[in-house]
Chain A
Amino acid sequence: MKSIHEVEQTLNVWGFQPQITVPLLGEVQPKVIVMTWIVLILIALFTVAATRSMKVDRPGKLQLMVEEMFLFLRGLVYENMDYKKGAGLMCLIFTLFLFLLFCNLWGLVPTMMSPTASVNTTLGMALTVFFLVQVLGFRYKGIGFLKHFIQPSVFFLPIVIIEELSKPITLSLRLYGNIFAGEVLIAVLLGLFGLTADLLGGFVASVIWLAFSIFVGFVQAFIFTMLTIAYIGAATAQDH
């Protein structure tokens, strides 16, 4: 039985430094950055392979996968806002879902790490969404968007501000907590059973947890995307 730090050191076969300092950005986590690059490349390969030769009558497996994902997200978007606004947002929603899904699942590959298991990534996404909501609110409602801060009366201003700020925070911490906990438990389960115990079935718990983590990865990506859609829908709706 090993401690979690021992397991993490054993798993760090690529020799990533916990933190390095780069110009312009300051301190960064190289492992998160590199994993994000890998995820970006994977998404690029996946989407290019899926959309390389699209057919109308006989779609391939990859094409069907992407199409179904796209249609599912489009259904969610169209339920929450009108078509004209929704069509413009589809690319963003699609990218968000795909990125989060690949990030969540990538950590299940041994010695790899989910970029979303770092609060930096999730907070970055949540802040992007937060600013997007504000920008879209102003774009569709103009200066009237500010009115919802003081409705029904001016005394609600602090409450509404707290509510608005809590959105990106909960959004990021929910995703971060789920994925990070998944990774920690994977490491714990790996350390809990040695190689000899694995021969007697010690791997079963780990396998079950990995399967559950796949499910969690999908659900968390879906929740993040769904809440993004809901926030944008609420901010751009014509009447509250």
Chain B
Amino acid sequence: MEDVIKSLGINGTLVAQIFHFIILLIFLRVVAFPPIVKVLEQRQTAIANNVAAAEEERKQAEALRQSYLADMQKAKEEAQAIIQQATKAGEAQAQQILEAARAEANRVKETALKEIEREKEKAVAELRDQVITLSVLVADKIIGKQITQDLQHGLVEEFIKEAGDLPC
């Protein structure tokens, strides 16, 4: 055993090396190790936070999108309703105007008819008067006898009445 150890060159250096390694271990444990672990943990936390925040924002964006879509749908429906209402109102107004025009036309026509009737009656009455006067003159000439104006008028009127209601 001694020979093996000697031929391999194993000596007190071995103990010194173990000692050196332990010193290095302690040094790294105290100086280098904590910041590495800390920074890695911080990075892990930061990434986890970022992922969570991104997820949260995605959810919010989705909710916002849904609300926008709903708003747009509502606005569309309202616009549709307004258009329908306006169309209905327009149609109603057109109808109203048409009726008013029709009524006005009827009224004008009626008035015109009445006017015509009145004018006709007036003309007939005038004609009658003239016929009477003319008849009286004619009778005056033909008969040649003096009768009073009133009597003659009464006579002629009677005659015309007898002649009937012949249309002129």
A120 contacts B39, C-beta separation under 8 Å: no
Instruction: Classify the secondary structure of A's interface with B.
Output: helix
Any A CB within 8 A of the CB of B23? yes
Known pairs A56-B39, A67-B36; A124 contacts B28 (CB<8 A):
no
* B residues contacting the other copy or chain, number (CB 8 A): 31
A40 to B37, CA, bound (A): 21
Contacts of A25 in B (CB 8 A): 11-13, 15-16
- B34: shortest Cβ distance to chain A, in Å? 8
> For residue B9, which residue of chain A has the nearest CB?
A119
A52-70 vs B, CB cutoff 8 Å, 1 = contact: the mask equals: 0011110100010011001
- A152: shortest Cβ distance to chain B, in Å? 32
A67 contacts B13, C-beta separation under 8 Å: no
A27 contacts B24, C-beta separation under 8 Å: no
A67 contacts B40, C-beta separation under 8 Å: yes
Q: How large is the interface on A (under 10, 10 to 19, 20 to 34, 35 or more residues)?
A: 35 or more
Interface residues of A in 201-236 (CB under 8 A from B): none
B30-59 vs A, CB cutoff 8 Å, 1 = contact: the mask equals: 011101111110110010000000000000
Contacts of A125 in B (CB 8 A): 17-18, 21
Contacts of A91 in B (CB 8 A): 25, 28-29, 33
B35 contacts A40, C-beta separation under 8 Å: no
A19 contacts B40, C-beta separation under 8 Å: no
Any A CB within 8 A of the CB of B27? yes
Any A CB within 8 A of the CB of B8? yes
Any B CB within 8 A of the CB of A104? no
Q: Which residues of B are at the interface with A, using a C-beta cutoff of 8 A? A: 8-18, 20-21, 23-25, 27-29, 31-33, 35-40, 42-43, 46
Q: Which residues of A are at the interface with B, using a C-beta cutoff of 8 A? A: 19, 22, 24-29, 32-33, 36-37, 40, 43-44, 47-48, 50-51, 54-57, 59, 63, 66-67, 70-71, 90-92, 94-96, 98-99, 115, 118-121, 123-125, 127-128
